[in-house]
Structure 1
Amino acid sequence: MSAADLIQPQAADAEAPRQRGLLSLLLIANSTMLAVYMGVGSVLLPTQIESVDPVHKVTILGIVGGVSAIFATAFNPIAGALSDRSGKRNPWILGGAFLSCAGLIFLGTVRTALLLGIGWCLVQATMNSYQAAVTALVPDRVPLARRGTASALVGLALPVGGTLGVLIASRTSGSPSTGYLVLGVMLSAAAASLSFFFRDVPRERIVPKVSRQAKVAAFLSALSHHDFRWAFIGRALLVLGYFSVVGYQLYILDDHITLPKGMHPTDAMAILTPVSMLAMAVSTIVGGLLSDRWNRRKVFVGVSAALAGLVTVIPVISPTWPGMLAFSILNGLAFGCFMAVDTALVTLVLPKAEDAARDMGVLNIANAGPQIVAPFVASAVVTVAGGYGPLFLTGGALALLGALAILPIRSVR
């Protein structure tokens, strides 16, 4: 059942304040989720791996990142489908957050590459169960006419959460256990607040009596729809290009960029991330609101993906601190607009409203799946090509292909 079915015309005004409250809590829930992803993935985990084996840090980070992303890819759509079948979101939100908190605390206690890998796999699995349920709340409860605005507000989670996560991680990199604990508690508090103030909207339980083969086919059936498939491909290519570079940013700052005297890579991260995320916040708001006002999605998504690809040449031409600042600002503008408007676009090409969480979970394979490939691609490019310049160019080429993949979408302007 879609949000449009749940809200009768005469009740629209009465529901408006409640929707605004929902969007605020969704912003907090998504922000803490991305604080975990960015804080751990960009700072705490690479720092721990470097302390364990500084010589093989690139390879180890690639393996840990790739294997853990397999868990993310598997658990997101599975949890989404199970959430659809149960007719409830809150148990998955709470369970995923609390189990993730336990996994983060475990990560703060380990000191070997193997245990770091196991711990991060567990966190990825539980975080993606949480993410699948939270993501489904937009198509569940927000009317079609407000999807762009809602997606823009929720999209602010990346700049807000990313900045917060990296700042916390950078300040606690000398004591990772503290950073993990703070991030885990924040996530749990956000999940508890969302579940307490917004109880589950009654939804029809879907328990189909079909064969296992039919279940698998139904699970991926959204990809048989032309527009959904191209939206999936475009998202996957851009995310692959983005995380191929961002996942190694700490090492890029350490080994490729000439930093000002006395500045350490973690200090640089604490500056670059807020700068990039501020740019991302601006483009998220502007892109989402303008896409609603003009009722246009494809042009915003395509242009922002193309910009994300083009700006990767800056750190190649100028591997300096000013060059990295310029790249971070422009890349933030491009990625923020893309994610805000692309999320709105995707909600408009979902095949069936009653399968929203399942299909959004399938789409999230385009978020998590490329993160399986990205660490291996990045590690191979850096090792074989002998530097981070080719890595930037590879990420840029993938983003440009993502821009081209938006063109075949027909049902959305």
Structure 2
Amino acid sequence: MNDILPIILSIVAALAVIGGLIPVLLKTRKNITQYPGTRDANDPVLPRSGSTAVEDSPAAATDRRAPDGVDLEGLDTTTVPDDAAGLEVIPVETPLPVAGRLMRLRERLVRSNNIMGKGLLALLSSDKIDENVWDEVEETLLLADLGTEPTMQLVDALRERVKVLGTRTPEQVKVLLREELIKIVDPTMDRTLNVQRHADKPAVMMVVGVNGVGKTTTVGKLARVLVAEDKDVLLGAADTFRAAAAEQLATWGQRVGVPTVKSDIEGADPASVAYEAVKAGIDQEVDVVMIDTAGRLQNKVGLMDELGKVKRVVEKLAEVDEVLLVLDATTGQNGLNQARVFSEVVNITGIVLTKLDGTAKGGIVVAIQKTLGVPVKLIGLGEGADDLAPFEAEAFVDALLN
């Protein structure tokens, strides 16, 4: 019996050692199954370049208390489930440089069905410009959704310039038209995206708009723009109502190695997801947190109030630096109605105009800016992943006239 006792003790000791290794092995497996480039809130926080070292304590150990009325249950800061066996790993892509996009988008706009610039050039190149011609100029501008006030302003300026010129060559007409169009598109408006990290917090951006304008796609494309500019980005999937919206956003993020904070509960509180995304962005010291919101009809008071709540909850952690309103350029004047309502609920700081290549109504750029006093900051001219670029007034006018 005395000979068996040491053997039994040895077996018990060995089992204890093996039992202690199991959690370590499981944690290692979890880390391996994450897609390349994604980051979990439980990972150690790495110090930013030039900052003081951060201890290797997990970010998840920080205080997760939320403001009153915000439910954090069911939130997930990973883009991959624990058991990722059998899932396709999406390779990380390198987004195109921003400068190259501008040239390609301009070429696409030149080929688009725009009547504004070409129609004006033809009218103003007429041998005789009488009242009938000016009526046609005015009609062309109104049909291009320029808006009544900007149309009258532009027609008055053109009348004065043509009277001074007298005899005109096509080249002179193009020069004066270019100059006046650039003035009315207004190159003096600040179109810079407010995405500079603060001393101790990331820049926070919200993307809003009605159903079907492409907000989630715009967030994904804009993430590519920021990554191309060497920004460290984190996405927040606060569109919790549309089926698969969070997965769609996470896929966009995975393509460029950007993590996504999302909820596993369908219909979860959008404000809670936005709050947790900003919290994770602060913990992980990223440059920019981008929050995708659910599409909502501008005439639904409850939904619009909820959007205001999302912004207020986020601001308990960090200032919202940029609120981008996504508009479909093909909706014309209806887009103006949407813009007015959204600007009353949240402080819109910039416009993203999508599908500009699918409309002849380029004047919507001017109309929106005049209505809100807010610049168009980004334009989309296609379905490709890199078909989004900063808006430039002169490049836009040149494309209209070519």
Shorter chain as denominator, the TM-score bin is: under 0.3
Higher relative CO (Cα under 8 Å, sequence separation at least 6) belongs to 1
TM-score (ref. length: structure 1) = 0.24
The structure having more radius of gyration, on CA atoms, is: 2
Structure richer in helix, relative to its length: 1
Q: TM-score, normalised by structure 2?
A: 0.25
